[in-house]
A and B are shown apart, each in its own frame.
Chain A
């Protein structure tokens, strides 16, 4: 994980060098695969390793990058394999067409499967994928007139260009090298960052403007696609496919390969695949006692999971890892909030949120004036955070409406509101924990609709992210993992992430919670500096000093209802407010 995150900040020259080395080594590997004289056994093992690794690459996308489980990779592998098997032998279609068809079918199946359940995630996804796997296996076995049933498909031809075993192996290695490179680089693309953000914190990802659901479905479909590719090549390599090669047990093997090697990187995939194919082969000398070598294999899996949490590659790569110096910040941060929608940036009209019989938010009207700092306060349980969650789209409103900069956003999902110009921070900090400070803020800068980023070039994104980090005073530590920062600094990174997105309205959820008095002071200063840009802020906090100093306008909630609203000092002296607070405290 950390290996590729640091590479994101690598200077372009280093990247070119690494690419050249990669290409050179890949060429050597292809050359060796084509020319070294292997016997049939080693050839079979290498062929199996190469094609399986492609499928495991798929898992490193869906599981490693996006954090979603897939227990049906063998089914997608099987779809690819059967497409090539049946297509070339029964339908007499060219190999390449069949390979492409298999990948297409896998892709569609993966996308459909993902689309139906990825809203649920976790164990549900595990179960649905298991079900898909079982049903597909049953179809392979029982739809005899179409799939040849348990007999399988034999005498599958290879493409003419690579009809020899070795030239075909070389071709597979070449495909492996290309796909491996793409998967490796994927982590640092916009899509890859989105996947990692979803994996680290779905909620924060949505609020950062990432379409969580679509990202997950995309990851799942990509995984299936790679499974189909691997399977298609496997069919050509072994010339025979049958249902038991694509059973649930094989899906488990794929998953184990991925986790064992290191789920987050294609190198890990290759290591895991290689090892899991080899371990049982190496242990064959124990065959005199039936079951012994598979028992040892099971034990090895338990031990590796326990002692190498990031897989073998994660364990090894720690020793190569060195931190890169932070890039120098360039121009200072600029903010250009949208201002098309009149005097009030945010207006709610009789906004309500009920949980069953509980009216957590009850017909609340709020109007946040443009360019002002507005505070929302209230005793514990008064509905402040619920209001904020309804505003940012994490909860859907029971009734009433919300409009941002003149646009009705009541029915928009969280990421669409972010696109419309909403930015927020969380009371309990939600950063992307496996990423560096810079990467976290880059994801903020990537907000769709951010007019300050042109063409979303990598340099522009990083420059903006550095400017935002510099603004909160953390530029020099940009390339450290966020988990290395103190609580107060993590809060600042979260604010920087929101600022980098150039929002129209910034929602701050108890920014002073858990800060000491010095930190509170600097937070106050920061708020003033942000307000100086003319950015509209809605702040929730308990800290009366902070609120009364920073905010020009205050809305007070109690038991979900608005009990006071107006200019700060007047509201704080309002008798209902005093009672609410004294009563509550």
Chain B
């Protein structure tokens, strides 16, 4: 029983990480209909910012955290202006390629600026974790799970109960209608990019103490987060969270009971199964496009 509970905790923890990154995907996808292949690099850049300020310069953790998030907001804005905005009237393909280019650019300029050595970033808490009835609860994973829950609530409140959130909703549903209503579509898209860069950054800072800070850290998580996005049904915030958690749990139990080396494959097998048998995801996005 300890065994199963331990796996469950770990699965939920890693799943929450996927969910956080998946959230960023979903927001951008809803607003622009484009998958942002550089989403993982947002996480990586934020983690490096933390290392620079909190470790190298030795500034307080909370201050470094605020600076890192500020940096992510700027990055999100620049990303929108440089990568998405010039291509906004084109199909999704050039935009995808452009975000791929951006991901190569971000990863390698970080490498050029900071060098290749992986870094250690301390967690928020000094205690590594608690032992509850033979199950070890890692404090950082607990934090991640907590933040994920908080974000679900925040997103719900933000998109359903604030004017800005509703404007963002309207924009992602129908751009023409939104602009007829006097909503500035380009401002809304800008806000979306900034917000999802913040989310990506937050995810990066939160997982850094567990996975360490390295140039590659974003890419591997991002791919899993993609899968989570699909399982949850593209464009659905709650779906992305559930998809992420489901993926984490499937992976962890798959590794424990089926095969460790094929662990990464379970995510994609589940994904394919979903696409073939339930393409609308858990909560369902309408796939049909008709006259």
Contacts and interface: CB of A to CB of B under 8 A. Distances in A.
A291 B92 contact: no
B262 A295 contact: no
B132 interface: no
B193 to A, nearest CB: 15
A263 B94 CA distance: 11
A290 B151 CA distance: 37
B271 interface: yes
B101 interface: yes
A259 B234 contact: no
Contact of B262 (A124, A138, A299, A305): A138
B271 A120 contact: no
Interface string A107-134: 0000000001100101110111011101
Contacts of A120: 275, 279, 287
B265 A305 contact: no
Contact of B105 (A128, A135, A259, A298): A298
Contacts of B102: 298, 302
B264 A142 contact: no
B97 A255 contact: yes
Interface string B202-234: 000000000000010000000100110010001
Interface stretch (B67-75, B83-91, B159-167, B169-177): B83-91
Nearest to B85: A306
- Most-contacted residue by chain A among B111, B264, B268 (CB, 10 A): B268
A29 interface: no
Given A290-B111, A292-B108, A301 B92 contact: no
Contacts of B111: 290-291, 294-295
A297 interface: yes
B272 A291 contact: no
Given A69-B93, A306-B87, A301 B101 contact: yes
B112 interface: yes
Contacts, number: 141
Interface residues of A, number: 49
A123 B223 contact: no
A295 B108 contact: yes
B100 A252 contact: yes
B98 A301 contact: yes
Contacts of A122: 92
A127 B291 contact: no
A124 B97 contact: no
A256 interface: yes
Interface string A295-311: 10111111001100100
Contact of B264 (A132, A134, A294): A134
A302 B104 CA distance: 10
B276 interface: yes
Nearest to A394: B291
B92 A135 contact: no
Contacts of A130: 223, 226, 268
A141 interface: yes
Nearest to A128: B275
Given A305-B87, A309-B90, A126 B35 contact: yes
Interface string A271-294: 000000000000000000111111
Interface residues of B, number: 50
A256 B101 CA distance: 9
Interface in A36-79: 63, 69
Contacts of A135: 265, 268-269
A3 to B, nearest CB: 19
A117 B275 contact: yes
A22 interface: no
A295 B226 contact: no
B291 A203 contact: yes
B223 A134 contact: yes
A317 interface: no
Nearest to A141: B261
A430 B291 CA distance: 10
A395 interface: yes
Nearest to A203: B291
B39 to A, nearest CB: 14
A215 to B, nearest CB: 17
B109 A295 contact: yes
Contacts of A141: 261
Nearest to B269: A135
B290 A294 contact: no
A127 B101 contact: no
Given A138-B261, A142-B261, A394-B291, A302 B108 contact: no
A572 B161 CA distance: 50
Contacts of A548: none
B128 interface: no
Contact of B94 (A132, A259, A299): A259
B103 interface: yes
Contact of A302 (B82, B215, B261, B269): B82
A291 B109 contact: yes
B290 to A, nearest CB: 6
A557 B101 CA distance: 53
A291 B262 contact: no
Given A138-B264, A293-B108, A301-B101, 11 more contacts: A116-B272, A117-B275, A123-B234, A130-B223, A135-B269, A142-B261, A255-B100, A291-B111, A295-B109, A305-B101, A385-B291
Interface of B: 29, 35, 82-83, 86-87, 90, 92-94, 96-98, 100-112, 115-116, 215, 223, 226-227, 230, 234, 259, 261-262, 264-265, 267-269, 271-272, 275-276, 279, 287, 290-291
Going nearest first, the 10 A-B pairs with the smallest beta carbon separation are: A291-B111, A301-B101, A298-B105, A298-B104, A131-B268, A295-B108, A291-B108, A294-B108, A291-B112, A302-B101
12 contacts: A126-B96, A127-B230, A130-B223, A131-B271, A141-B261, A259-B97, A291-B112, A291-B116, A294-B104, A295-B109, A301-B101, A302-B101
